[in-house]
Copies of this chain bind each other. A is one copy, B any other.
Amino acid sequence: MAHEVEREALARYLEDHHLKHTKQRDVILDVFLKAEGHITSDQLHQKIRSEHPGIGHTTIYRTMKLLCEAGLATERHFDDGVTRYEIEHEHHDHLVCTRCGKIIEFECQMIEATQEKIAARYGFRVLRHRHELYGHCKDCRED
């Protein structure tokens, strides 16, 4: 079984917080990681249902919230209003294709630095940011 690092991180978090290590939590973490992020609660449920029909939607919501607290996942709200979960890692932004739904991550040092400068101008202290470019990807554009 892959994802040993994350599984251990979860185990450690559960132990530290006197929470219980259940089969459901393992399954959900595993399916979430295999999906490589940007997945909705409902999509997770679909994927899980085939192998483990018992696991309910409620548990998925609760477990994803737990994974967020444990620092293994983050919630994202793109423009369609549905919550998506992605694998936690810092400083990256998204290109979203509005035709096929493809999501590409990118990172830009220069933009990060500029953000800080702008925030400082208004006396803001930035804790996190979101930066998304919506358009058509190379397979979907017509021009």
Residues of A in contact with B (beta carbons under 8 Å apart): 77-79, 81, 83, 95, 97-98, 104, 106, 108, 110-111, 114-115, 118-119, 121-138, 141, 143
Contact = CB atoms under 8 A, between A and B. Distances in A.
A56 B81 CA distance: 23
A105 to B, nearest CB: 10
Nearest to A82: B81
A133 B108 contact: no
Contact of A106 (B106, B122, B125): B122
A114 B108 contact: yes
Given A81-B77, A83-B81, A106 B118 contact: yes
A84 to B, nearest CB: 12
Contact of A123 (B79, B131, B133, B138): B138
